[in-house]
Structure 1
Amino acid sequence: MDVILAKHAGYCYGVERALKIAKEAIANCPKPIVTLGPIIHNPQVVNWLEELGIHAVDEISEKQKGTVIIRSHGIDPEIVKKFVSQGLEVIDATCPFVKKAQSRAQQLTKEGYSVVIIGERNHPEVIGILAYAQHKAQVIEKVEDIEKLSEKLTKRLGVVVQTTQSKENLGKIVGELSTKAIELKVFNTICNATQKSQADAKDIARKTDVVLVVGGKNSANTSRLAKICKQINSKTYHIETVKEIKKNMLNGVKRVGITAGASTADWILKDILTYVEDLEI
């Protein structure tokens, strides 16, 4: 059985940077150290950080001491100000590509555009970008959402995109918005790593009998990779660890493709790759 590993699979720059910042905080920052929400969307990596002494929490109380690390997805800047005012050490691990989307949303708002964010409305990255647009932006997940929001959109539209969205979704939505607006300003804030990993995933899905997409079930970019692969290859499985691989997934298979989301650790990917390569069917 041949195993093909995607060239662009696993940690992206933003995730590597966030984890480097977190590990440096252990040595240099006051304890306890917490993140508001998981620093990245991978349960196994978050558990590993817990063992090192960095704890993900759902809220920060007024009595909290020590250090708060801002997750890679970013948060509302007003919340950061609150942390600083209560004497917490604040370490910003926001992905630079997310910061670019935040900055563009802020710019478009200041320029008077009716801002549209293309992305998942309940994703922490999108919630953070909304804050930079003064909570006035409209979130559009798919083309069908545009009609529902037509009364709230002006003829002068500015668009930013969740960094892990697909170019196809961006293209469809912008195409439809262009029929509604007199002026349309679009910033493509999809990150480079996302575009490369999605292109690789399509290629692997076409070349193989089965695709294993590795990453957190709560990861937007991994879920999108799985969706992209499944549209091409129906035998696509989204898994987090090697324990989820069942032999019947690979019965009669000659070629297996493996890719992974941007928050998937090298050790998880290596375990799966080794298991599949050693499997006797």
Structure 2
Amino acid sequence: MLRTLTIAATANPSPARVSLTSPFTRQSLNAIRSLLANTLEGSDIPVAEESHAAVLIPLCNVDNKPGLLLEVRGKLRTHSGEVSFPGGKVDKTDASPLAAALRESQEELGIHPQQVEILGRIGPAETSLSGLRVWPYVGFVHPARQVDAYSEQADAPEVDVPLPSLALSSLRLSPAEVAHAFHLPMSALVSPPRLHTYLFRAERPYFAVSVADLVAGPHAVHSGPDPTPSWINDPQQRDEIGGGREGRLEVWGLTGWYLSELMRCLGVYSDQPSIR
């Protein structure tokens, strides 16, 4: 049966498990942790014979607004100009895919592993166009000054008090890998003008999210002097390669798929039968 993707939280806010406008709290993080635990039932596990990569889907509050951190890749041999989550290939020195995601997040954005409170993982892991099985971990990024306090908060009773906001100026971008890093508010994920429906691997619907204005806006940091985002714009490229389609800078491809999967899990998006 053909399916289409809808914005469930716009039609009826009650399906959404977390607020799209109020800051993340201890209560909302615990709710996300519970929802992600349910998605892993019967999920796959890493196979030694395969090559693996891992990404961190970093949730955070910025200026008391809930959202996610993303980056625009620099001028690299592969994935140049793409919007992505921090992450990369699992090295032999990494104890696990999660360790690789945390290491890459520190190398690319200067986020120390102790700042990241892991909430769970989305499953199943998809295979990238280069043949790597990519493991997506969801975590909340605490400000560096809060790393000693959040573990105590995790054991405390659920409270609906905003968690401290992350200062984007505290990020330390790797100039060799990252051109820009920016905050994508949760509210932007239900803004119809930003959303474009694509099919992941030509069969599964997901939303790509236009973000050029966010990259050039106040809630972004840059590794170079020019804040204007640049990306590859070639309609002849293979699916998922480049910054987006039709001249847009978008969260799309595998990154867009994982973002949509997280939003499905949180009740923000929903699948509906499509009659054609």
Instruction: Flag whether TM exceeds 0.5 (same fold).
Output: no
Structure with more strand by fraction = 2
| TM-score normalised by length of structure 1 | 0.23
| TM-score normalised by length of structure 2 | 0.23
User: Larger RCO: Structure 1 or Structure 2 (Cα < 8 Å, ≥ 6 residues apart)?
Assistant: 2
